[in-house]
A and B are shown apart, each in its own frame.
Chain A
């Protein structure tokens, strides 16, 4: 597969993980076997890490809150931020973790059932980590767009019959 094809292949899957190897093969003018091999290879070397579904939980009865927590961290000798990052990302409550430039160091996205639960997690689990200097918790009030997808009413086909 050419580099350009590989890029297109990954972009297609990133946009729609449900595309089957058969469908991808037709669309990319490749053999199904080639597609399957390439997919396996990407899974093995960690280019493809998973296939997930985008769910707008606000449209369900599930109770949950999401928070962005800004952490200022004192980097550790030799290991920088990696050690503390590892400690944080191992908590299942942590949905995303980024090392940032700017006025704070780590951006942590946490999901919990209630605000209290999140606040408790920050106070008990995060703030107590040695190298964490300060925390600032921001609760998400509404998700407008995630992973390139707008969270709103389902789209209807309004096109005219002409």
Chain B
């Protein structure tokens, strides 16, 4: 846990003072990833650097695990906090193993324990120890270097991790991959992470909470969902972007809106005429066709009309099946691509689990914005009066 209490940082002396951070207070709960987000010069990096005392506090108190950081010896404090920066922070004169071993060496671990830990970390970050242990940073790609950077931050198994735009310098494809890997690690390791970023996508993806900074002030501190659906002011909504409805969809999953008991299910062996009648009574234009509880496709009333045999002969197959974990953003994308209004959700054994329709998605988006649309003030009438 990290707490910030009225943290203020002023640069310069006398008349030339610049307030980099103004009275910022918030708490990073244990085991959560908090992303510090904002444009450059907003104070997010300063906040991080104050935490491991690379900058000195002007006023206020920062505590880690209920200990005031000013009461801890500065070198010990920094060894207790894992520190990950961009790949350029790796020491080019040291091998990968030596780079990772920096903090364990400072803590006087014995050789054997260090080399065991190095191998363990390399494996954790998807780098083959045999292959990479004795290489130098210059021999690795940007993405691999960044993995080593993460491993180095985790080396002494700190409870708290400070990450300063760690994935900023990597190409988008590798960045996605590294972010996924880090999230996977994080679900296992449950570190308390302070993560500086200027990228809203990264913040939404990585953060359990997001702290948005503007000109040295903390504007909003909330979960990504709340930030997207209820931005506190124009700055936040501008920063989040006009496509925030789509970003909300990126956060929601199929399991949030799945319809587990749709009314228009037909068995593949049924006669077409019966099925047509069944759909008519349910007032449904589509039928989802199951066989042995596995969806094989869908039929429309139109296609059933000209079919004499069993329903399975008239079936149009689904282009893709959804999983409960699929983000709604991907679902919407598939709907636009295949112009299929209903999609089937299947479990790991391809058994039918439910359906998602375009209307369900729209309803979900509307629901998440409900508070906001109700609170819109009638601006024009005010101007008139």
Q: Real complex partners, A and B?
A: no
Interface positions of A (Cβ within 8 A of B): none
